[in-house]
Amino acid sequence: MIILVLNSGSSSVKYRLFNMDGERCLAWGVVERIGSRGAILKHNREDGHQIKLAGDISDHTKAIEYVLTILLSPNHGVIKDRSQIDAVGHRVVHGGEEFTESVVIDKVVMHQIHDCIELAPLHNPHNIKGITACRALLKDVPQVAVFDTAFHQQMPDYSYMYGLPYILYKRYSVRRFGFHGTSHRYVSDRAASMLGKPIEELKLITCHLGNGCSTAAVSCGISIDTTMGFTPTEGLLMGTRTGDIDPAALLYIMSREEIGVGEANSLINKHSGLQGISGISNDMRELEEATAKGNERAELAVNMFVYRVKKYIGAYAAAMGGVDGIVFTGGIGENSSEVRKRSLSGLEFIGIELAPELNNSDDSEERFVDKGGRVRVMVIPTNEELVIARDTLELVTGM
Ligand code: AMP
């Protein structure tokens, strides 16, 4: 079965085409700068063939049409006819309380995803554009929605509730939802496999550290807590997002700086985090380099970053009553041996001991990086697209 996986953002559409016999990724790429002049399509084929094309792509329908044209192209493509695409899996950021797992998209589901726009105004509208475009272009091909929030929807109420008046939860669904769920699910499943134990017997802490960062406590395969909250702003320090902050501090800043909701939103999501603290970059590589050269604010940003990861590892070990494995994933989690080392330093008392030679290796495969003690530490490259393809396969096979 051939499955197209789409991740539709505000000005980009990322795609992967899988042949699920053997879970082979036949082609992948991205259309960038949709809606502005000089949109670009970068396309890669399984055999190493790559191309980069420019064009005027005004909207998501045109972008996906372009992707289909390339997938079918005699020179660059991998399939001969649109009818070879058996199903499409879409990443949808917010599924609210409605969706605890992936679903086949029908009219009712579309309405429900629309209803979640209020909860994710920056993401769900673009995800919907991708679905609508596919409906127009691929008519009767079944489509599946895979939600970033779904994996966290079994959290206990005492973990997802905020200490606000209960009526506000009932009125506006203000609660912790959590994000990066597809990634936390994938790496926790892989970790169980690496540990050779059923996931139902494991307590795992998964750290997705990329431009956005979140940690999850996965007990017996269920996410019982996670650092991102009502929005992806809460929790760990991120590239440009604050992570945890006293809400009253924001009110104070709004009053002193005389800024409104829009500017405050931009402040906490686009100008804070690693970028806001260091004043030089949101990119961990650049901050590690600047720290090595003695830049004190870059060093402070990195110190804050690793301290929060460590703090949540301790908190989640307590929440689960122990921990069997810690997983690092995402651009920083997979690549920065320094961040892993510093996030885990001092945690020997829980039974965590990194093996420096394993931790320092540049291996890009999933691997253990600890000394083999009580708590195993793993680096697992995430693969959210494969989870979306697998869910899509499972749901459409049962249709
Ligand atoms: P992602 O959002 O998962 O693509 O991750 C992006 C983040 O990963 C950026 O902060 C990058 O600086 C960081 N990153 C990628 N490679 C490395 C590396 N070799 N060392 C440190 N950070 C890295």
Residues of the chain with pLDDT below 70 are none
- Nearest protein CA to atom 19 of ligand 1, as residue: 335
User: Which pLDDT score is estimated for 156?
Assistant: 98
- At 219 the three-state DSSP class reads strand
User: For a pocket test of ligand 1, which of 148, 236, 278, 335 has the largest count of ligand atoms closer than 8 A to its C-beta?
Assistant: 335
pTM of the model: 0.95
Residue 349 per-residue DSSP state: G
Under 8 Å between Cβ of 90 and 146: yes
Residue 251 Cα to ligand 1 midpoint, Å, equals 32
List the domains of the chain with CATH numbers.
2-147 (3.30.420.40), 197-384 (3.30.420.40)
Active site residue 148: yes
DSSP 172-212: H--S---S-HHHHHHHHHHHHHHHTS-GGG-EEEEEEESSS
User: Which pLDDT score is estimated for 38?
Assistant: 85
Q: What are phi and psi of 43, to 5 degrees?
A: -130, 135
User: Which pLDDT score is estimated for 255?
Assistant: 98
User: Which pLDDT score is estimated for 36?
Assistant: 85
User: For a pocket test of ligand 1, which of 206, 238, 284, 359 has the largest count of ligand atoms closer than 8 A to its C-beta?
Assistant: 284
Residue 258 Cα to ligand 1 midpoint, Å, equals 35
Ligand 1: atom nearest CA of 288 is 21
CA distance 362 to 57: 38
User: Which pLDDT score is estimated for 304?
Assistant: 98
User: Which pLDDT score is estimated for 287?
Assistant: 98
User: Which pLDDT score is estimated for 313?
Assistant: 98
User: Which pLDDT score is estimated for 398?
Assistant: 78
* pLDDT tens string 340-361: 999 999 999 999 999 999 999 9
Q: Report residues whose beta carbon is within 6 angstroms of any ligand 1 atom.
A: 210-211, 239, 283-285, 288, 330-332, 335-336
DSSP 5-17: EEEE-SS-EEEEE
Under 8 Å between Cβ of 286 and 280: yes
Task: Specify the pairing of strand 376-379 against strand 325-329.
Answer: parallel
Residue 331 Cα to ligand 1 midpoint, Å, equals 4
Ligand 1: atom nearest CA of 282 is 10
User: Which pLDDT score is estimated for 364?
Assistant: 86
